[in-house]
Amino acid sequence: MSKKRIGILTSGGDCAGLNAAIRAVTRRAIDGYDWEVVGIRNGTLGLISEPVEAEILDKQTFGGILLRQGGTFLGASTKGNPFAFKMPDGQVKDRSAEFVAGFKSLNLDGLIGIGGDGSMKILNRLCELGDIPFIGIPKTIDNDVACTEFTIGFTTAVNVAVDALDRLLPTAASHHRVMVLEVMGRDAGHIALHAGIAGGADVILVPEIPHDMEMVAEKIRQVYEGEQRTHALVVVSEAIKTPEGKKVMHANEEGKMNYGGVGHVIGDQIAQLTGADTRVTVLGHLQRGGTPAMRDRVIASAFGVSAVDLMAQGKTNRMVAWQHREVVDVALDDVVTRYNNIDVAGTMVHTARGLGICLGD
Ligand code: F6P
């Protein structure tokens, strides 16, 4: 009987901890089940390329280095939706059948896909179409995938933002300034809320809580006058709205809208309303790179091992998830129909308010 072969790919935006997950899948599949593992290059693009872009992974592939490295050595793409693929001439083509054909050409028995909520939707649909046994592993710095408490990459991104606040504070204090830090996170404010609490912010603005700039200005005045501390830290999520009710977005090279720049709008408003010397830092993709934090390596490893175990049990079309200190598996249909926003009545918001942090409301 020939060996079972599984494919693995990383889809969507990268983050720290992806290599740790690929390593865990490979080790578990080889040592636990004597399977072959095929790494597919550049997410879904690898399977619709002619010839398909893939390589056999073995334990030597990883050495001691990859566990510690950010990014994904397999490559990833945010442009690889085979259902609506933008061709070089600008036309949009359905290439889902090519994805399925590419998968079949590798003689694979199943696919493990590491992705965020958008990738889970696409991969779930593709695998249903091709009758491909599929297990998802959640990753994204945004931590916005439903049914899991943590996604791979979130903790590292928050650490980067906390480190930025640690660096901004002394310069804010030296120059008596308000420092505004804009962080990523898409439509969820998890990065801002966690980083703001851990980094001692005075104000945290998140998309889930509509803010009033007068409340923000009042908080800064309170800090300057009441607390007699002539510096303040403000953390803003990239997806909050401007005072005119707009989101600050830019079209990328594909025409897809990305967030970025609202921190400058908030900084200008603070300066205008309070007269405080204000500076703005947009942290951007720094949050996606760097050495993966301990928790990202740990959950990536646990997800990788469990994903292979699920495949071995024949339990497919599931996503591994972190719930109550354990890896569990959840139905992909439940994941792709929900979005994991901040719970405005939850512990983190309660903690921020309890610390006297202004959330803009
Ligand atoms: O989803 C991860 C993320 O980093 C978001 O926080 C951010 O809005 C977006 O991706 C940036 O996308 P890109 O890498 O395409 O600029």
Domains belonging to the chain, first-starting first, are 5-152+292-323 (3.40.50.450), 156-288+344-354 (3.40.50.460)
Q: Which residues are catalytic?
A: 142
Burial class (CB within 10 angstroms; exposed 0-12, middle 13-18, buried 19+) of 31: exposed
**Which tokens sit at 302?**
């646990």
Q: What is the Cα–Cα distance from 43 to 53, expressed in whole angstroms? A: 10
- Cβ–ligand 1 distance for 182 under 6 Å, the answer no
pLDDT of 71 reads 97
The ligand 1 atom at the shortest distance from the C-alpha of residue 287 is: 4
Q: What is the 3-state secondary structure (H, E, C) of 90-112?
A: CCEECCHHHHHHHHHHCCCCEEE
Q: What is the mean pLDDT of residues 223-230?
A: 90
- C-alpha separations of 296 from 59, 138, 224, 292, 323 in Å: 20, 11, 38, 6, 15
Question: Residue 112 is encoded by which pair of tokens?
Answer: 């493990």
Whether the CB of 13 sits within 6 Å of ligand 1: yes
User: Three-state DSSP class for 209?
Assistant: coil
Which pairing describes strands 92-93 and 85-86: parallel, antiparallel, or unpaired?
A: antiparallel
Nearest protein CA to atom 8 of ligand 1, as residue = 186
Compute the distance from residue 259 Cα to the ligand 1 centre, in Å.
8
Question: φ and ψ at 274, to 5 degrees?
Answer: -115, -20
Mean pLDDT value of segment 49-59 = 95
Q: What's the rounded mean pLDDT across residues 28-34?
A: 98
Q: What is the mean pLDDT of residues 210-227?
A: 96
CB-based contacts of 136: which residues, under 8 Å, 6+ apart? 112, 113, 114, 115, 120, 123, 124, 307, 318, 319, 320, 332, 335
Cβ-based burial of 92 (10 A; exposed 0-12, middle 13-18, buried ≥19): exposed
Tell me: pLDDT of 254 over 80. no
Q: Which residues pair with 114 in a beta bridge?
A: 10, 137
Instruction: With beta carbons less than 8 A apart as the criterion, state whether 179 and 42 touch.
Output: no
**pLDDT value for 335:** 96
Closest by CA to 309, choosing from 299, 300, 298, 320, is 320
Give percent above pLDDT 90 in the chain: 92
Q: 10 burial class (0-12, 13-18, 19+ CB within 10 angstroms)?
A: buried
Instruction: Give the span between the Cα atoms of 102 and 315, in whole angstroms.
Output: 23
92 falls in which pLDDT band (50, 70, 90)? Answer: very high
Q: Of 64, 52, 81, 74, nearest to 27 (Cα)?
A: 64
Has residue 1 got a pLDDT over 80?
no
φ/ψ region of 176 (left if φ > 0, alpha if ψ in -120 to 50, else beta) reads: left
Residue ranges of alpha helices (H) inside the chain are 18-27, 33, 45-48, 59-62, 96-105, 117-130, 154-175, 190-198, 213-221, 262-274, 294-312, 332-336, 347-354
Whole-number Å distance between alpha carbons of 236 and 148: 24
Question: pLDDT over 70 for what percent of the chain?
Answer: 100
Q: What gap in Å lies between CA 194 and CA 246, rounded to an integer?
A: 24
pLDDT of residue 152: 98
Say what the pLDDT of residue 79 is: 84
For position 2, what pLDDT does the model report?
82
The pLDDT mean for the chain works out to 96
Q: Is the CB of 258 under 6 A from ligand 1?
A: yes
How many angstroms separate the Cα of 110 from the Cα of each of 1, 252, 311?
Answer: 17, 33, 8
Non-local (6+) Cβ contacts of 356 within 8 A are: none
Probe target for ligand 1 pocket from 14, 184, 236, 288, with the most ligand atoms within 8 Å of CB: 184
Query: Is the C-beta atom of 78 inside 6 A of ligand 1?
Result: yes
Structural contact between residues 82 and 96, judged by C-beta atoms closer than 8 angstroms: yes
The pLDDT tens digits of the residues spanning 139-160 come to 999 999 999 999 999 999 999 9
